[in-house]
Amino acid sequence: MADTAFRKIDIDIYDEDVLLETELYDPDPRDPSQVLSDAKQKQGAVRSSLAKSDIPGALDIALDSAPYGPNVDEAKNLTLQTVVTILNSTKSSDISNVIKALSQDAQDTLMKYIYKGMGMPGWGDVSGSVLLGWHEKLTEIAGTGCIVRAMTDRRSV
Amino acid sequence: MSAPEVYSIAKSPISCHSFNADRSQVAVSLNDNDVQIYDRRGKEWQVTETLSEHDKTITSIDWAPNSNRIVTASQDRNAYVWQQSPDPQTGKMVWKPTLVLLRINRAATFVRWSPNEDKFAVASGARAIAVCSFDSENNWWVARLLKKPIRSTVLSVDWHPNNVLLAAGSADMKARVFSAYIKDVDKRPAASVWGEKLPFNTICGEYSSPAGGWVHAVGFSPSGDVLAFAGHDSSITVVYPSGPAVYCIRINTLPYVTLTWTAEDMIVAAGHDCQPIVFSGSEGGWAAVGSLDDTTTGGAKAGTARSGPVGRLNSAAFNTFRNADSRGHNADTAGDTELLTVHQNTITSVRPYEYSSDGSVARVSTSGVDGKLVVWNVSAVSTGGLAGRLGGMRI
């Protein structure tokens, strides 16, 4: 067995011109505290939309300017919680129409949240079977391209 | 509608290809250290020469149509310019390599001759582009490096028709337009939409891919006033710097890795989806219009695929599994793993093949990981495949 320890050496510390994570995407112009208050406000707006059973409207609000980047973990969790609540309260027969009403931006963001949810089984109200149902419908409509964008985008939610 | 000419050249992937001026010969790399030159013999292609000098995989080949020189780039960090000269003993014309000093410490990834064929640009993993010109005093090719502000591997380059500007797509998710003006070679370029004063390494434009994908391919329009690039986030972006207008088309299939303009209002892009897709538009907007690959004429096979999954998943193999899963069908088409497209794997390169009298590209050639070389008629756009795919979106 060859020695593989050299593979664990952090060679970036010897590089003066190292590419930093922050250079890979444009940062969110909002302040972290503002991102959090936006997320809380959106949660309220989503609740009132859900009370009127306006699922597309609720999803639109939740997916608009989603928090990304460092230092906004609380807002990220809050938004995931909001999105999951909407996904769970949608009848499976309505899913396709709801997705079709979304913009391409919102579809891409929704795909990110579906993958995030799948990566946190048992967290909050996350339900694997609901997410899989949405994932199937979303892929049918927005294609594999939507999955590729969820994977490439460094602005992870 | 004319069918594409399909040539199965090899069992191994074709990583790049380049035809000579009269298209009687093609230089390809079969994903190894050698360049193979094929001669057209009727309907077949036969290897007539092998250019061996690189000691790592060749990444890119470009054959200059007027000066009949070949430039090759490789992972061994070198580029060679190949020129035909008579062999002193036999008098037969043979290809002689000249090493180019690139001064890069990572793989060379892409190479293209400038329109006047007096310069070429080599993209590399060293966060740099080497712009090479010939120094006749010393009888060698010298390189000048474009470095700033590239942050990662450069994956593709394309020359502006004015022989000075160079577009580059890179793995730092940006497409850029540089000036590659070299004093001794170039005349002062006329002012264009990209700027007026253009000393070497001027940045004339910098554009991000929409969802943070590597920029795999860049291309100037025939006039040079418009830039298009394809990213790994399954998108194509068209930039009008004078507008300024930026059109981004997100596609619903796997990403494109290569593109070429065929006219001022038309782009052909291809990649992991295995078929060349045609985009059309103007300063008012851009959209996909169809595929050059007519996937609907596959007869019964296509019928089963119509309502099915999207893009590359639209294959007989996928449908077999799906039927077995959802309907309990036992696979009677077992072993039928063919895709419904002509190319059976990722398309690595799409290039102009033949020009029509008005200067637009009449036919394009593609090479793929499946070892096929295909020549497509650009006017033969099939909207069926796309409509079929869009049809799948209707529920």
Interface with chain B: mutation pick from A92, A144, A157, highest number of B CBs within 10 Å:
A144
Q: β-pairing, B129-135 with B119-124?
A: antiparallel
Count Cβ–Cβ pairs < 8 Å, chain A vs chain B.
79
- What is the mean predicted confidence (pLDDT) over A23-49? 91
* Model pLDDT for residues B346-392, shown as the tens digit of each residue: 999 999 999 999 999 999 999 999 999 999 999 988 775 554 444 33
* Facing A152 at nearest CB: one of B213, B253, B309: B213
Q: How is residue B85 written in tokens?
A: 């000269």
Determine, for residues A152 and B151 on separate chains, whether the beta-carbon distance falls below 8 Å: no
Chain A positions contacting chain B at CB under 8 Å are 17, 19, 23-26, 96, 100, 104, 108, 139-146, 148-149, 152-155
What residue has token string 């503002």?
Answer: A34
How buried is residue B320: exposed, middle or buried, by Cβ count under 10 Å (0-12/13-18/19+)? buried
Q: Which residues of chain A neighbour B170 with C-beta distances below 8 Å?
A: none
pLDDT score for B311: 58
Residues paired with residue B259 on neighbouring β-strands, in sequence order? B269
CA dist., res. B261 & res. B227, Å (int): 10
Interface with chain B: mutation pick from A149, A155, A157, highest number of B CBs within 10 Å:
A149
Q: Which residues of chain B neighbour A140 with C-beta distances below 8 Å?
A: 309-310, 392-393, 395
Query: Collapsing DSSP states into helix, strand and coil, what is residue B280?
Result: strand
pLDDT score for A140: 93
pLDDT score for B332: 54
Which residues of chain B have a pLDDT value below 50? 298-308, 334, 387-395
* Facing B252 at nearest CB: one of A23, A146, A155: A146
Flag whether pLDDT at A65 surpasses 70. yes
pLDDT score for B300: 36
pLDDT score for B70: 97
User: What is the set of domains in chain A, with CATH numbers?
Assistant: 29-152 (1.25.40.190)
DSSP element (H, E) containing B58:
strand B58-63
pLDDT score for B380: 86
- Which residue type, as a one-letter code, is found at position B120? F
CA dist., res. B205 & res. B115, Å (int): 21
pLDDT score for A1: 64
* Facing B310 at nearest CB: one of A24, A26, A144: A144
User: What is the set of domains in chain B, with CATH numbers?
Assistant: 14-293 (2.130.10.10)
How buried is residue B115: exposed, middle or buried, by Cβ count under 10 Å (0-12/13-18/19+)? middle
Among A22-31, A103-112, B56-65, B292-301, the range scoring the smallest mean pLDDT is B292-301
Within 8 A by CB and 6+ apart from A54, the residues are: none
Q: Which residue has better confidence, B108 or A65?
A: B108
Per the prediction, chain A carries an average pLDDT of 91
* Model pLDDT for residues B272-331, shown as the tens digit of each residue: 999 999 999 999 999 999 999 887 654 333 333 334 455 566 667 777 777 777 777 665
Cα angle, residue B246 at apex, residues B243 and B252 outer, rounded to 5°? 155
Q: How is residue B297 written in tokens?
A: 């004429």
C-alpha distances out from residue B73 to B53, B345, B392, Å: 11, 23, 42
pLDDT score for B394: 32
How far is B271 from chain A, CA to nearest CA, in Å? 12
Q: Which residues of chain A neighbour B251 with C-beta distances below 8 Å?
A: 143, 145
Strands lying side by side in the sheet with B25-29: B16-19, B25-29, B34-41, B44-52
What residue has token string 């790049």?
Answer: B16
Determine, for residues A148 and B393 on separate chains, whether the beta-carbon distance falls below 8 Å: no
pLDDT score for B327: 73
Q: Which residues of chain B neighbour A19 with C-beta distances below 8 Å?
A: 151-152, 172
Query: Collapsing DSSP states into helix, strand and coil, what is residue B248?
Result: strand
User: Is this prediction's ipTM beyond 0.95?
Assistant: no
Question: B186, B133 in Cβ contact below 8 A?
Answer: no
CA dist., res. A30 & res. A28, Å (int): 5
Q: Which phi-psi region, left, alpha or beta, contains residue B290 (left: φ > 0; alpha: ψ -120 to 50)?
A: left
Q: Which residues of chain A neighbour B392 with C-beta distances below 8 Å?
A: 140
